[in-house]
Amino acid sequence: MSAAISDQLQVWGVEEDTIIYTDGSIGFGLELSPIDVSCIDGFGANDIHESLSKFLNTLPTGIDIQFIQEISEGNEKVISENEKLCGLSKSELIKGLNLKKVESLRELDSYGLLPVHKLKLIVRKPLTRSILTKKSIFSNDRLFPEISERNLNHEVKTLKKLKSEIKGQLNKLGLNISYIPTQKIVSEVYDQWNPTRSFKNKVKLENYDPSDIRSSVTYTDVVLDQTGFSLGDIHHKVISLKVLPGQTFATMASVLRSLPFNSKLYLSITVPDQQKELENLQTQRRMAFSMVYGKQSGVSDLESEAKFQDLEELLAQLVTSGEKVFHFGLNILLRANSKDELDDQVSQTLLLLRELEGAEGLEETIASFDIFKDFSFPNARVNERTRRIKTSNLADLLPIYGPWTGHLEAKVLLRSRMGNLFKFNPFSSELTNPNQIISGSSGSGKSFLTNLLLIQMLKENPQIFIVDIGGSYKKVCDNLSGQYVPLGVDSGISINPFDLAPNETVPSNEKIKFLLALIESMTKKI
């Protein structure tokens, strides 16, 4: 086998957002927005399950698809957008406070404490007519097969039709979808094989040969050992799914959002010929039947009995329930600067996989690099640790979930429970009603959150009026605006809108009257 990494790559070239592989197959990539199911109910989860099952059942025979869930850095764009808004503030104090927050978020991002959840889908389609000759026993695989421009145009046209069909199915799930352009595909391959150059030294790819990108994206040596491999000075390990979950349920793959930072999950799916799969299962059923009922005496074979019952149930579902059989493999790539840190990530990942209803992961050792180069971006295939699985179970394992990242504009930056940045804009056009309410028990942090939102919104110099029974906002108003605005109402009582303390001599109905008058006065003032 060749020692050059470029010879191990399955990508031949990328042209007009179409990936061309060395075996003549072609494909494309999609960027998806993960679905947040934190607040979804059982009915919503079942709707997602049904939609995913329909998506899988409509996939044509012979194609390979791969979902890639990535947890990495990448908040600089959002932080910079918020930083630009700080320059609008007329108050130096407000501007300084918000810039300090920006500086703090940028520091957290540099330490990898602000994870970004990304999701990609790679689709790989074989040619309609095979152009590869069958190899003999002693011959090598034939790479770079010749294909006429006419045939290639026909294949690209067929691929575009497949693109629109898959995009239409995924749109029904509420996923935001965009095509991965040529430049980004090549950059992803470069970053994958040169982690030290791209992530640590920030050396980006500038020039490449689009007709054969393999030698243009590999500049790093691979070091193999008994427990994993290294690309440059970045250590890698591969975790494969060894034991399937005992049972599956809708949205159970959302557990995988808690994988370690800088990890990548690859779920590779092959759509086989269903007729051949059915014949294969029927052959296995007959063999299991003969093992169970062919014996005249002696101890019964419990293992064969269990296998026979499982095959009976599976075949019944394939015939009556519209289920299909798929080949799939689940692999997780872990990366770290030190082996100790990598070992901690391995332990965390193996524990997390057990939360999938008893699933078990396997830490790959000597074969880790060979497995990695098969499922690596954008190959969309895996040859080891593959399992057969039916539609309903596979739909529950698709890693399409992630935290909500908020609105389009980064007016206010907050952090979610998963640690990622959350963009909040109380006046976003995405909201159907600008009125909002913050509820909670006493001491739960309602006023603290409101103060936090106000401080960030003040950088855009809005008009803010506060009606408060208590003094939760007095310090904010005194320190940040220095304004004390008494307003007269019909009852003759002078009220500070920033600290509206109840007057014990005023009856409840009078309180309501002057609160209404106060609101009317503020409205006229605006």
Instruction: Take residue 219 and report the two structure tokens written for it.
Output: 């500049």
At 239 the three-state DSSP class reads strand
Place of tokens 């990508």: 11
pLDDT confidence band for 39 (50 / 70 / 90): confident
Picking from 362, 325, 330, the residue whose alpha carbon sits closest to that of residue 252 is 330
Q: How many CB atoms lie within 10 A of CB 446?
A: 15
List phi, psi (to 5°) of 6.
Answer: -60, -30
The amino acid at residue 105 is: L
Picking from 264, 439, 233, 456, the residue whose alpha carbon sits closest to that of residue 349 is 264
CB 334 within 8 A of CB 239: yes
Tell me the torsion sign for CA atoms 196, 222, 190, 419.
negative
Place of tokens 């739909």: 395
Whether the predicted pLDDT of 490 surpasses 60: no
pLDDT confidence band for 129 (50 / 70 / 90): low
pLDDT confidence band for 377 (50 / 70 / 90): very high
Q: Where are the alpha helices (DSSP H) in 87-196?
A: 92-110, 149-171, 182-193, 195
**pLDDT tens for each residue of 175-203:** 889 999 999 999 999 999 999 887 777 78
Q: Where are the alpha helices (DSSP H) in 402-507?
A: 446-457, 474-480
Q: Which of 298-307, 353-362, 416-425, 435-444 has the lowest average pLDDT?
A: 298-307
**pLDDT tens for each residue of 55-65:** 999 999 999 99
